[in-house]
Structure 1
């Protein structure tokens, strides 16, 4: 089994002519590994390349700046993640990566900001990269539009109205993360990863990766397959909210990163994590629970789910989030 490539041409707008065809392809991928590539996704290649250039500048600021803007200094968990701060696989060593987190710039009087909900609030920006706020906001908006369209196609794939998930995206939790992985250490043991095996926490992840590769996906048979970069394509994977929403029909599969193909160069990747509105209720959608059976997952809000995931992989930072 391989990771499929889905062409979104003719399916990027509500009611577009290829929507049903693309939705069927998404359903097949979602019932297998939960991973697929998308091409003709509507995001200009120049915008993606500019974001990689910005990622390098953000991660090249002085160490003192990164420490001063460390993400746990922000109630909304925005800013720099220092090397080794996260352990995605509890059985492995701390992840060999560093990154910069940002999100939508919700106003200070937004009800979710006032309530102190995690991921809502201000970003922390380094003065050394003054163009970062505007450029990141533009990229976030492009990714958000694509995420909302993918959710509409997912609704079609579940034989639901195309706009079924739209009400859950009024004030979405979205995170843009720019990551740098150093070269994999010589002589590293089997517990050393750039990012340990994990599933993503939200609904949809849209990943731009550089040409080095290193992402590996666990397929349904248990084997690990490289998600080799394909020019002009994003890698899309489903997060843990999707099995909850589909009663386990659609999958969120483990994946990991080892920067072993770059000839000693750092690897950069830019994942965009789409999560719905903090108070969106995540429970099995119609048609996914067989008659006479109980749902496989307890209902929860999107915010409750996300806060728990942060608590599992970071020593601090989630405690200030209001449920």
Structure 2
């Protein structure tokens, strides 16, 4: 089974001529592995290239500067994450990756910041790279537009009004992460991964990969297949909130990373995690629960779900 490619040309705006076809393709992908590529997504190539260049600059800062801006100094986990600091698969060794987290810089007077909700607040920006904040904000804005449109297409795929999820997606929780994976060790055992097998936690992840590859996706049958880089395309996958929202109709499948194809060079990737408003209620949408049956998951807020996931992989509870 391969990962499907969905061409968004003619479907990026409501009423586009290819909306019905794209909705059908999205439904099929979501009911299978929950993974697909998107092409003609509306994000300029130069913007993605510029973000990779920034990722290299950020993760090549001196170790002491990265430690000074560690996520452990941020109540909303913004900043640098050291090698081995996260374990996505509890049965495996700590992940062989390091990264920089940032997000939308919400003003201090915003009610969600005042309440201390996760992801709402300031990022930590290194003074050595004054351009970082502006570049990341521009990339986040582009990713927000894309993911909001994917959510609208997903609503149509569930026979819901196109803007069904719009309210939940206002003032979203979003995280931009720039990751560097060292080359996979030659003597690595079967418990060593750049990122252990996991599902993503939120609604939509949009991933930009460099040319080395290394992403592996588990199919519904349990096999692992590679998701190689595709020029001018993103890998999109559904996170754990989507099965909750669709009562298990749509899937969030495990994936993992091993940097085995780079010839010893580091691998860079840039995932953008889109999650709805902290207070958005996540419960089975109309049409996904058969008459007389109960939903598979109890309702929760997006924030409650996120807190649980952070506690599981970082052994700490964010705000």
Check whether TM > 0.5: yes
1: CA distance, partners of 2:288 / 2:169: 21
Matched with 1:131 is 131
Q: Offset at 1:268?
A: 0.1
TM-score (ref. length: structure 2): 0.99
2: CA distance, partners of 1:35 / 1:240: 13
Matched with 1:4 is 4
Matched with 2:175 is 175
Matches within 5 A, 1:208-287: 208-287=208-287
1:121 aligns with 2:121: yes
Structure 2 unaligned regions, length at least 5: none
Matched with 1:158 is 158
1: CA distance, partners of 2:115 / 2:196: 33
2: CA distance, partners of 1:114 / 1:187: 48
TM-score (ref. length: structure 1): 0.98
Task: List structure 1 runs of 4+ shifted beyond 6 angstroms.
Answer: none
Number of matched pairs: 319
Q: Deviations over 1:97-143 (max 9, x none)?
A: 00000000111111000000011100001111110000000000000
1: CA distance, partners of 2:188 / 2:234: 29
Structure 1 unaligned regions, length at least 5: none
1: CA distance, partners of 2:315 / 2:79: 16
1: CA distance, partners of 2:109 / 2:169: 19
Matched with 2:304 is 304
1:195 aligns with 2:195: yes
Q: Offset at 1:199?
A: 0.1
**SS in structure 1 at match of 2:21:** helix
**SS in structure 2 at match of 1:168:** coil
**SS in structure 2 at match of 1:107:** coil
Matched with 1:106 is 106
Q: Deviations over 1:150-173 (max 9, x none)?
A: 000000000000000000011100
Q: Offset at 1:304?
A: 0.2
Q: Deviations over 1:203-239 (max 9, x none)?
A: 0000000000000000011000000111010000000
Q: Deviations over 1:71-107 (max 9, x none)?
A: 0211111000111000000000000000000000111
Q: Deviations over 1:172-208 (max 9, x none)?
A: 0000000000000111000000000000000000000
Matches within 5 A, 1:52-71: 52-71=52-71
Q: Offset at 1:15?
A: 2.1
**SS in structure 1 at match of 2:53:** helix
Matched with 2:30 is 30
2: CA distance, partners of 1:307 / 1:166: 23
2: CA distance, partners of 1:14 / 1:106: 29
